[in-house]
Homo-oligomer: A and B are copies of this chain.
């Protein structure tokens, strides 16, 4: 591909982006689209009453850019949680380091590459883009020390910036922990693999925790097997409860949240004896059969919960497995009853399946690379020649725009598959499922977009097989500069245009319009609020970081494209966090260790590739200087792991104890205890009838914010992403009746 091919691709993408931006700035002002573009504001009731005038509405404007720019980190943290702050820091870090790299490489390295003596220069428009890469520098060139110097400066700056980010985010994480005393998950331990004692799991739990944690044990909540049968039983129970006389005996907790507030004692020992009590007793016996050997155990203090979660309770480590419970709205109820002994089998199965998927995906990648190297394939297979009779716009598009667009399309199917496979692994928290998917997608795209493209590209280039593992560094050193052009078009397509699509939300908009047109705004197809798709956006940002590092010295022309991407990302993601996405759960910054490791990997890969290039160019001095740099970078990584990683992996006694003390003094601890005991963790939720048919959108939220009553339903129903795994979440109209009780029976 030459400069004109690149320009074709750039032209197409810039045109698409511009149109999408303009459309967005108009569409967002239409009152009918509020649900699509201001989900977050709706959830926070920030939406203003007065909209812009009709003329204003139809004129494209850049006001959203200004607003996004003015948003401070504190606002972002308040709205999107620590995860949003981490994501924003990743983008800012990338902008900083790529700016430094761009300045150094474009003014120092690029001229040396261009005036290297290996190639003959033609007119700039027809010039092959390879003249701008390190491939154009001659063997044993005395100018390679400039590349080595640039490598040193970039590496040192990256390490320094990374250290600063680590420090900043560590402090933010500590502030996050101490700043969220209302998190009930910190009082709660999830106990799994409870042994069957003969009576019930509940009795076993009570016995163990009153025996060993007498002073700090508060109460517990047994978990139930989700499934159809239970739902039928629950319906039966509902009818039983619906008998008028029960209204005196049954506590508000039961009413408030379906089954989970059912305190066994209150059922077994009603204040006055009656036939109803016997009915209930029978039912409770029936119900016990579906108990699963897991429970949420609540403690009086956060520290006691932390200690219980850390300790091995039983001499058989496969029994009484404890871990900190996720926050109530973060729990993935569908996985909570997965037997603990099966977890490792599931993990192993998913690991193997992921590797198989990784390998299978090489097929589309090879096809894409075949298009990129059409020119060379033609020479080999003459029948392809008619396909590109002469070099024209079509040919430029087929080799320039099409491959990266196809790769982007192929990659669209990856995140949903990874979310499903992460759910099968059996995490008990949605945030952890998303994090696990993020990690999988990251491995996937680094392998399939970066390595597979470079290596298969080299294969097409030279038509010989990679004979052994030893060739791979040389192949990379050769491949990265020569594949730079393909990656530039990939940045244009997957970066720029995807960002524009992210802003414009065409899919959500389409569904919203269909809803309006076909179902009269009943929100059958569309969804109200989504959570931020970290598992697609973070890996993409990190991949572009990797591209930036690896191409900085070898093919500096890529840096401006990347910088534009990151600047746009900075503005657009801020806008999306503030306006569109709702934060229902977060990992508490657990994405940062992923980003840190990926950055170090990129940094070291850049150094290894340059070591390979220096080797190919037979520059012993430059190679010699690169090796200590690799060692130092690795040492830096090890140090950071020691210094910062534990903050993200473990909890701190000191912080937790201080919080406990303060809450005890202020009396808030009692309040939290009440919340826990009155059913903050609600396994079977009350869903309103309107949600009955919404099974087709994954990332959806049901119900409308019309009346306070339905709003109450909504607050307890946070079922995004879970429709696929949590069949009970979408079970219609099961416990909508008890909600009406709430107003009728405010207390016991």
Identify the A interface with B (CB < 8 A): 174, 212, 306-307, 310-318, 341, 344, 348, 467-470, 635, 638-639, 642-647, 650-655, 657
- What is the total number of copies of this protein in its complex? 2
Q: Which residues of B contact A469 (CB under 8 A)?
A: 468-469
Residue pair A638, B348 in contact (C-beta under 8 Å): yes
- Distance, CA A310 to CA B651, complexed state (A): 10
Residues of B within 8 A of A311 (CB): 306-307, 310, 651-653
B-side contacts of A470, CB under 8 Å: 468
Compute how far the CA of A341 lies from the CA of B639 in the bound complex, rounded to whole angstroms. 9
Inter-chain contacts of A314 with B (CB < 8 A): 652, 654
| Chain B proximity of A209: nearest CB distance (Å) | 11
20 pairs of residues in contact across A and B, judged by CB atoms under 8 Å: A174-B315, A212-B653, A310-B310, A311-B653, A312-B646, A312-B650, A312-B651, A312-B652, A312-B653, A313-B653, A313-B654, A315-B652, A317-B647, A317-B650, A318-B642, A341-B642, A344-B638, A348-B635, A468-B468, A469-B469
Chain B nearest Cβ from A343, distance in angstroms? 9
A642 partner residues in chain B, CB cutoff 8 A: 317-318, 341, 344
Report whether B653 and A315 are in contact in the complex, using a CB–CB cutoff of 8 Å: no
Choice from B212, B316, B341, B643 contacting A318 with Cβ under 8 Å: B643
Known contacts: A468-B469, A643-B317. The answer to whether A657 contacts B212 by CB under 8 A is yes
CA distance A654 to B209 in the complex (A): 11
Residues of B within 8 A of A313 (CB): 652-654
Q: Apart from A313-B653, A317-B643, A468-B470, what 16 extra A-B contacts exist at CB < 8 Å?
A: A212-B653, A212-B654, A212-B657, A306-B311, A307-B307, A307-B311, A311-B651, A312-B652, A313-B654, A316-B643, A317-B642, A317-B644, A317-B650, A318-B642, A341-B642, A344-B642
With a cutoff of 8 Å between Cβ atoms, the chain B residues found around residue A652 in the complex are: 311-315
For A635, list chain B residues within 8 Å (CB).
348
CB distance from A323 to the nearest CB of B (A): 13
Which of B318, B341, B467, B654 interacts with A315 by CB under 8 Å?
B654
Q: Which residues of chain B are near A317, meaning CB under 8 Å?
A: 642-647, 650
A742 to chain B, nearest CB (A): 40
Residues of B with C-beta under 8 A to A307: 307, 310-311
Which B residues are CB-close (under 8 A) to A310? 307, 310-311
Contacts of A174 in B (CB 8 A): 315
Q: Determine the residue in chain B with the shortest Cβ distance to A655.
A: B315
| Assembly CA distance A653 to B657 (angstroms) | 21
Chain B nearest CB, measured from A33 CB (Å): 45
Q: Of residues A316, A635, A650, which shows the largest number of chain B Cβ atoms within 10 Å of its Cβ?
A: A316
List B contacts of A657 (CB < 8 A).
Answer: 212
- Which residues of chain B are near A212, meaning CB under 8 Å? 653-654, 657
The 5 A-B pairs with the shortest beta carbon distances in the complex, nearest first, are A317-B646, A468-B468, A311-B653, A312-B650, A310-B310
Q: Chain B residues near A306 (CB, 8 Å)?
A: 311
A315 cross-chain contacts in B, Cβ below 8 A: 174, 647, 652, 654-655
Alpha-carbon separation in the docked complex, A647 to B646 (Å)? 24
The residues of B that contact A638 with a CB separation of less than 8 Å are: 344, 348
* Residue numbers in B under 8 Å from A344 (CB-CB): 638-639, 642
Docked CA distance A650–B662 (Å): 32
Complex-state Cα separation, A647 to B348, whole angstroms: 22
* Cα–Cα distance between A642 and B342 once the two chains are bound (Å): 11
Q: How far is the CB of A322 from chain B (nearest CB, A)?
A: 9
Complex CA–CA separation, A642 to B643 (angstroms): 29
Residue of B nearest to A651 (CB): B312
Distance in angstroms from A19 CB to nearest chain B CB is 49
CA distance A672 to B348 in the complex (A): 46
Chain B residues near A318: list those with CB within 8 A. Answer: 642-643
Listed residue (A311, A470, A644, A647) with the most chain B CB atoms within 10 angstroms of its CB: A311
In the complex formed, the residue of B with least CB distance to A352 is B631
Least Cβ–Cβ distance between A288 and chain B, in angstroms: 25
A343 to chain B: closest residue by CB: B642
**A407–chain B nearest beta-carbon distance, Å:** 30
Q: Across the two chains, which residue of chain B brings its CB closest to A652?
A: B312
**How many Å lie between the Cα of A575 and that of B422 in the bound state?**
55
CB distance from A593 to the nearest CB of B (A): 13
A283 to B645 Cα, complex, angstroms: 42
Tell me, in angstroms, the Cα distance from A307 to B306 when the chains sit together.
10
State how many angstroms separate the Cβ of A174 from the closest Cβ of chain B.
Answer: 5
Q: Complex Cα distance A25/B468, Å? A: 59
- Chain B residues with CB under 8 A of A644: 317
A473 to chain B, nearest CB (A): 14
Q: Nearest-CB distance from A314 to chain B (Å)?
A: 6
CB of A660 to closest CB in B, whole Å? 10
Taking the closest CB of chain B, its distance from the CB of A488, in whole angstroms, is 35
Chain B contacts for A316, CB-based, 8 A: 643
| Cα A401 to Cα B654 with chains together (Å) | 65
In the assembled complex, the Cα of A212 lies from the Cα of B659 at a distance in Å of 12
- Expressed in whole angstroms, the Cα–Cα distance for A645 and B655 within the complex equals 31
In the assembled complex, how far is the CB of residue A514 from the closest CB belonging to chain B, in whole angstroms? 48
User: What's the nearest-Cβ distance from chain B to residue A211, in Å?
Assistant: 8
Q: Tell me the nearest residue of chain B to A307, going by C-beta.
A: B307
Q: How far is the CB of A177 from chain B (nearest CB, A)?
A: 9
Complex: how many Å from CA A635 to CA B470? 31
